[in-house]
Amino acid sequence: MSQQQLEKIEKEMFEIVGGRHEETEKLAKKSVSFWKEVIIRFAHNKLAIFGLIALMAILLMAIFAPIFSQYTYSEQLGLYNKAPSAANWFGTDDLGRDVFVRVWEGARISLFIGITAAIIDLVIGVVWGSISGLAGERVDNIMMRIADVLTAVPYLLVVIVLSVVLGNGALGDGLLPMIIALSVTGWINMARIVRGEVLSIKNQEYVLAARTLGANTKHLIIKHLIPNALGAILVTMTLTIPMAIFTEAFLSYLGLGVSAPLASWGTMASEGNNAITNAPWRLIFPALMISLTIFAFNAVGDGLRDALDPKLRK
Amino acid sequence: MAKKLLEIKNLTQYFGSSKEPVKAVDGISFDIYEGETLGLVGESGCGKSTTGRSIIRLYDITDGEIIFNGKDVHSSKSANEMKQFNRQMQMIFQDPYASLNPRMKAGEIISEAFDIHGLYKNKKERLEKVESLLEAVGLNKEHANRYAHEFSGGQRQRIGIARALSLNPSFIIADEPISALDVSIQAQVVNLLKQLQKELNLTYLFIAHDLSMVKYISDRIAVMYRGKIVEIGLADDIYHSPVHPYTKSLLSAIPLPDPISESKRTRIPYVHEELDESASLYEVADMHFVYGTAASVKKWQNT
């Protein structure tokens, strides 16, 4: 093309037929919030979904099975150590009580202890950890050394001693001494995790930016610290519940749990242990429930942790 | 001559134990005039960012005085006075990935200051302000509803700039705002900063380690080394007639997109000499100061 021809070409001869920047921006996919994305990633994890469904089923059964069953957990049917049948799905025990109802009654106790202990851990741990992370170096040091001293004492020893002492005291032998014993050292893990999160978040540039905008501590905690630490707290909590359930079952197995005729999974397994040769169902069903529950909680906890980790984002 | 907006006198910032402090900033003094851009350059760890953060009161200074608009920045202030100060001075941060809260939408990030200061309570007004800020930094209105991870590095830095502008400040500290961006985006962001400066009559303290970019945006340049300002002067003077050997060394390290001159370029290594107590800033030319002793400055001028 010659120079002359080139000069004849003017700007007006061209028009943009597509690819306008503004329009492509408008067409872009709908924005997904962080939590929606977490749910989507969680839903892709088959094991975690299985765990979630199992937990829902256990929870629903714990609530409704004792209500709709024709037996109660303490009712003696006069049928001793009967194998599972159409009338008694999980069989009966040595006093002629229906194991099926007792398993779900036990589920109520185990889940109640697990969840209550986890909530107490959550509250103490979050408060302790965030004060430790936010306050100065000296306060942090003192608070964390106290936690260190508490962890230095063997966990089971503390729990056993406390539940024996409290159980014989004014609190009576029931759920309360057990929950207190579980919570005395249980919160330390949560406190450590929260402290770590707070320490790392408070030096993030977006927190510095909020401070230069004039944000006070309350604003920083509500808008920045809590939303960003929530993931780690949630994961820790889903892993604390099975730990508490397991410890409760273990202590009950040792004979420190709730008293008769109430029974948690641990006491049932303990009693069933004596009849393992002639009535194995009395051990198998509570043991199965303990395993399933702990497995399900761990699966959900792991799934949550993976779903919350932005490094695994596709 | 323009009015002094910011006066820094003997600013000192030590970290760690009082016995063996880390001397991040070791007694620096300089002024920033209204409407200008002062470039602050130096290698990693020389105290540039600390200087910026001390000025905006993110750190409590060890010693010295920072006077902004005639008022001492670090004097004790009521919450209200502090907010007044926050409205005048803002900061743009280095890392566009760490400086935006991943749980917030761009619109929320930009309007965060409005919540803190109780501005634009009317929803419609607030939306309009957010949209005008987004447009001012070259983003679309539609971007307000997106989360930080949906933006590119350059776009994120624009959101950071919009946040800094949200309170209509007169002075902005830009703490290496372009060092985490790739070169083509660097130019866009620097041009945006220049354009905003013209439109809004802003004053910048531009912290960077890239001398060529600093030269492009700055009116004056201060060179920092080991917590001290070793040379400060007009950008052209620093660039064409550097005096301090550290400045010369820095300038000799700038690559040029020209293979012929590149093949002839030799780097001048910098050997640090300890100076005695008498060292201070000497004026070697109009508005051009060099840190050293009388003898050493004379020697450097003649080489």
Confirm if B177 and B40 have CB atoms less than 8 A apart: no
> Range of A236's domain?
53-62+91-312
Report which of residues A210 and B272 the model is more confident about. A210
- Confidence tier at A314 by pLDDT (50, 70, 90): very low
pLDDT of residue B152: 87
Q: Please give the ipTM for the structure prediction.
A: 0.86
- How far CA A22 is from CA of B128, B152, B291, in Å, comes to 18, 16, 51
In a domain, A278, yes or no: yes
In a domain, A15, yes or no: no
Q: Which residues of B touch A28 (CB under 8 A)?
A: 142
| C-alpha count within 13 angstroms, C-beta hemisphere, residue B246 | 22
**DSSP-based three-state secondary structure for A159:** helix
In a domain, A21, yes or no: no
B113·A214 Cβ contact <8 A: yes
Q: Which residue has the tokens 């370029």?
A: B265
**B227 conformational bin, left if phi > 0, alpha if psi -120 to 50, beta if neither:** left
pLDDT tens over chain B, length 303 residues:
578 899 999 999 998 887 888 889 988 999 999 999 999 998 888 889 999 999 999 888 899 999 998 888 888 778 888 888 889 999 999 888 889 988 888 899 999 999 899 888 888 889 999 999 998 888 888 888 888 888 888 899 999 999 999 999 999 999 988 888 888 888 888 999 999 999 999 999 999 888 888 888 999 999 999 989 999 999 988 988 899 999 989 888 888 888 888 888 888 888 888 887 778 888 888 888 999 888 888 888 887
In a domain, A137, yes or no: yes
- How far CA A121 is from CA of A198, A229, B11, B178, in Å, comes to 17, 16, 46, 44
In a domain, A24, yes or no: no
User: What are φ and ψ of residue B160, in 5° steps?
Assistant: -60, -40
In a domain, A5, yes or no: no
**DSSP-based three-state secondary structure for B216:** helix
Residue type, A214: G
Confirm if A147 and A194 have CB atoms less than 8 A apart: no
B58·A214 Cβ contact <8 A: no
CATH number at residue A237: 1.10.3720.10
Give the separation between CA A199 and CA A222, rounded to whole angstroms: 16
**DSSP-based three-state secondary structure for A277:** coil
For the cut 60, the answer to whether the pLDDT of residue A277 exceeds it is yes
Give the separation between CA B237 and CA B243, rounded to whole angstroms: 9
In a domain, A85, yes or no: no
For the cut 80, the answer to whether the pLDDT of residue A273 exceeds it is yes
Cis peptide before A261 (omega within 30 of 0): yes
In a domain, A34, yes or no: no
Domain count, chain A: 1
Q: Sign of the CA dihedral B287, B291, B292, B297?
A: negative
Give the separation between CA A89 and CA A70, rounded to whole angstroms: 12
Give the separation between CA A67 and CA B176, rounded to whole angstroms: 66
Q: Can you list the domains of chain B with their CATH numbers? A: 4-302 (3.40.50.300)
For the cut 80, the answer to whether the pLDDT of residue A76 exceeds it is no
Minimum distance, in Å, between the CA of residue B164 and any CA atom of chain A: 8
Residue B35, classified by CB atoms within 10 Å of its CB into exposed (0-12), middle (13-18) or buried (19+), is: middle
Q: Which of A31, A219, A228 minimises the CB distance to B145?
A: A31
Chain A residues in contact with chain B using a Cβ-Cβ cutoff of 8 Å: 22, 25-26, 28, 31-34, 204-206, 208-216, 219, 223-224, 227-228, 310, 313
Q: Which residues of A touch B167 (CB under 8 A)?
A: 213
Give the separation between CA B30 and CA B59, rounded to whole angstroms: 19
B95·A25 Cβ contact <8 A: no
Of B168, B171, B164, B167, give the one whose Cα is nearest residue B203.
Answer: B171
Q: Concatenated DSSP letters for B69-116?
A: TTEETTS---HHHHHHHHHHEEEE-S-TTTSS-TTSBHHHHHHHHHHH
Confirm if B159 and B106 have CB atoms less than 8 A apart: yes
Minimum distance, in Å, between the CA of residue A217 and any CA atom of chain B: 11
